[in-house]
């Protein structure tokens, strides 16, 4: 089965995955109903565009169907304001650049390569691998049968790289949605699905980073060592090795096709430069997913699929209980900006972890 959430830039299988992933938002958004909540901006190219990417546009709420719905809407908007303020605060405290950079080599990909575009509904959807892409794929599956003809329109903002005016225009005038997730749970989820699935994906990832991890931390060359064996044994990279690798190479790497699975959420989504209007929490997807569809005015076309109970905290407890405290510290430091900006608390994660570990012992 297809797994993960890839950019529509790589070849072969990953391209299909990427497109599928990209389809999700695009299909939701390119369907036929009308949406009258967007301000009728007429685009006038101007030199001030760059510096005015900052503001969040105020959108009219959808017509509430009940009093409760109106209350829910109001509460969610308050929460959204709080989440945006957290990002502001974190960006200011860290003195992060506020300007999107499109002028240097590779910077278009880095800045806007993870934004899916829908021109019909004027939406940009920021996607981060291991943050609900599978759920969005479920939506795609449903819509695929309905809107086959719209598939051709899908792209990321990166595809407008040869005309930056087009990029700035969309950043300024479209609604921007992003889902985020507790950082070390997301990292673990990437590790489990890519380096521990004992299938082709694990082969790919062992080629991609496993080789250098084995060389670095086990001190031998896997390929040479098993030269004579037709079917090479798995490298079975451990979570400790993975964490050590991620934190050792740190921020000293360029975002590529696969490392967006572990790079900090903010590196993939650029929240200091891109002013997201809606920041969803993966952990609350069952509520916030359907909310987004309503907010975008496409809920009459598709419904959000049921969100299955997540076993993420079980996996978290199981896997991280094997990790030394110093590695746990390293990885939480590595994601510290994400924790601050997206309103997660490492102390809360640790308390889940500790409770899990010690409760488990009591049961024995
Ligand atoms: C913030 O960053 C800018 C440019 O990167 C630098 O010139 C300035 O000194 C920094 N300010 C602080 C307080 O670190
Ligand atoms: C870039 O896009 C804008 C807006 O669509 C258009 O007016 C302009 O001619 C384009 N520039 C180039 C170089 O294609
Ligand atoms: C890798 O892990 C799998 C599953 O735990 C195991 O069956 C296999 O023997 C391991 N391979 C190596 C080389 O350790
Ligand atoms: C974690 O820390 C935050 C502030 O940093 C605090 O608001 C929260 O109550 C703490 N949670 C736990 C479980 O200790």
Question: Could you report the per-residue pLDDT of 87-118, keeping only the tens digit for each?
Answer: 999 999 999 999 998 988 888 888 998 888 87
Residues 103/155, Cβ–Cβ less than 8 Å: no
Residue bearing tokens 């101007």: 46
Neighbours of 168 (CB within 10 A): 22
**What are the tens digits of pLDDT across the range 211-256?**
999 999 999 999 999 999 988 899 999 999 999 999 998 776 777 7
The CA–CA distances, whole Å, from 90 to 98, 177, 283, 348 equal 12, 19, 21, 19
User: b/e for 297-322, b at 16 or more Cβ within 10 A?
Assistant: bbbebbebbebeeeebbeebbebbee
Average the pLDDT over 302-329 and give the result. 85
DSSP 14: H
How many CB atoms sit inside 10 A of residue 91's CB?
Answer: 19
**In angstroms, what is the span from residue 344 Cα to ligand 4's centroid?**
9
Write the CA distances from 326 to 70, 247, 268, integer angstroms: 47, 11, 26
Whether 355 is in the pocket of ligand 4, judged by its Cβ within 6 Å, is: no
Alpha helices in 67-146 (DSSP H): 67-93, 107-112, 133-146
Say how far apart CA 98 and CA 350 lie, in whole Å: 32
Model confidence at 5, pLDDT cuts 50, 70, 90, reads low
Mutation probe of ligand 2 site: the residue of 47, 166, 167, 172 with most atoms within 8 A of C-beta? 166
Pocket of ligand 3 (CB under 6 A): 198, 233-234, 236
Strand arrangement of the beta sheet that strand 115-118 belongs to: 155-156, 115-118, 123-126, 175-180, 278-281
**Hey, whose CA ends up nearest to atom 4 of ligand 4?**
345
Confidence label for 4 from pLDDT (cuts 50, 70 and 90): very low
- CA distance linking residue 334 with residue 330, whole number of Å: 6
DSSP letter, residue 279: E
pLDDT reading at 25 higher than 50: no
Of 223, 269, 260, 217, nearest in space to 238 by CA: 217
Question: Ligand 2 centroid to 165 CA: how many Å?
Answer: 7
Q: Which 3 state secondary structure label does DSSP give 178?
A: strand
pLDDT over 80 at 300, yes or no: no
d(CA 74, CA 136): 25
DSSP-based three-state secondary structure for 239: helix
Q: Mutate which of 341, 342, 347 to test ligand 4's pocket (most atoms within 8 Å of Cβ)?
A: 347
**Ligand (nearest to CA of 44):** 2
Of the pLDDT bands very low, low, confident and very high (cuts 50, 70, 90), residue 66 is confident
Radius of gyration, alpha carbons of the chain: 21
Ligand 4 close to Cβ of residue 345 (< 6 A): yes
Nearest ligand by distance to the CA of 343: 4
The atom of ligand 4 lying closest to the CA of 347 is 1
pLDDT(362) > 60: no
The residue nearest atom 10 of ligand 2, judged by CA position, is 163
**From the CA of 228, how far away is ligand 3's center (Å)?**
19
Fill in the DSSP letter of residue 310: P
Among protein residues, the one with the nearest Cα to ligand 2's atom 14 is 163
DSSP structural state of residue 83? H
Query: Residue 124's beta-bridge partner residues?
Result: 117, 176
Q: In the numeric block, which tokens belong to residue 58?
A: 């105020």
- The span from the CA of 155 to the CA of 142, in Å, is 20
Q: What is the pTM of this model?
A: 0.81
Alpha-carbon span 342 to 177, nearest angstrom? 14
């Amino acid at each position: 089965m297809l797994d993960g959430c890839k950019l529509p830039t790589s070849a072969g299988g990953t391209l299909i995955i990427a497109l599928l992933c990209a389809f999700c938002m695009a299909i939701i958004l390119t369907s036929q109903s009308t949406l009258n909540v967007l301000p009728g901006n007429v685009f006038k190219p101007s030199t001030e565009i760059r510096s005015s990417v900052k503001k969040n546009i105020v959108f009219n709420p959808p017509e509430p169907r009940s009093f409760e719905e109106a209350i829910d809407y109001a509460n969610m908007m308050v929460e959204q304001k709080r989440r945006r303020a957290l990002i502001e605060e974190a960006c200011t405290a860290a003195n992060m650049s506020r300007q999107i950079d499109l002028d240097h080599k590779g910077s278009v990909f880095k800045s806007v390569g993870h934004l899916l575009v829908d021109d019909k509904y004027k939406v940009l959807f920021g996607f981060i691998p291991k943050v609900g892409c599978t759920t969005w794929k479920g939506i795609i599956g449903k819509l695929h049968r309905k809107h086959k003809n719209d598939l051709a329109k899908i792209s990321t903002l990166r595809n407008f790289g040869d005309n930056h005016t087009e990029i700035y225009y969309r950043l300024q005038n479209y609604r921007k949605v992003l889902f985020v997730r507790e950082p070390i749970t997301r990292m673990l989820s990437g590790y489990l699905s890519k380096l521990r699935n004992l299938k082709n994906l694990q082969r790919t990832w062992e080629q991609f980073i496993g080789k250098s991890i084995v060389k670095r931390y086990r001190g031998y060359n896997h390929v040479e060592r098993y030269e004579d064996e037709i079917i090479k044994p798995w490298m079975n990279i451990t979570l400790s090795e993975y964490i050590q690798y991620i934190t050792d190479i740190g921020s000293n790497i360029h975002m590529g096709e696969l490392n967006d699975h572990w790079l900090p959420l903010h590196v993939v989504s650029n929240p200091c430069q891109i002013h997201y209007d809606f920041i969803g929490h993966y952990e609350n997807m069952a509520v916030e997913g359907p909310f987004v569809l309503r907010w975008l005015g496409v809920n009459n076309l598709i419904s959000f699929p049921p969100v299955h109970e997540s076993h993420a905290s079980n996996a978290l407890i199981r896997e991280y209980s094997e990790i030394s405290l110093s590695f746990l510290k390293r990885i939480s430091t590595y994601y510290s900006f994400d924790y601050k900006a997206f309103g997660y608390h490492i102390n809360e994660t640790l308390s889940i972890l500790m409770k899990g570990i010690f409760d488990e012992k009591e049961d024995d």
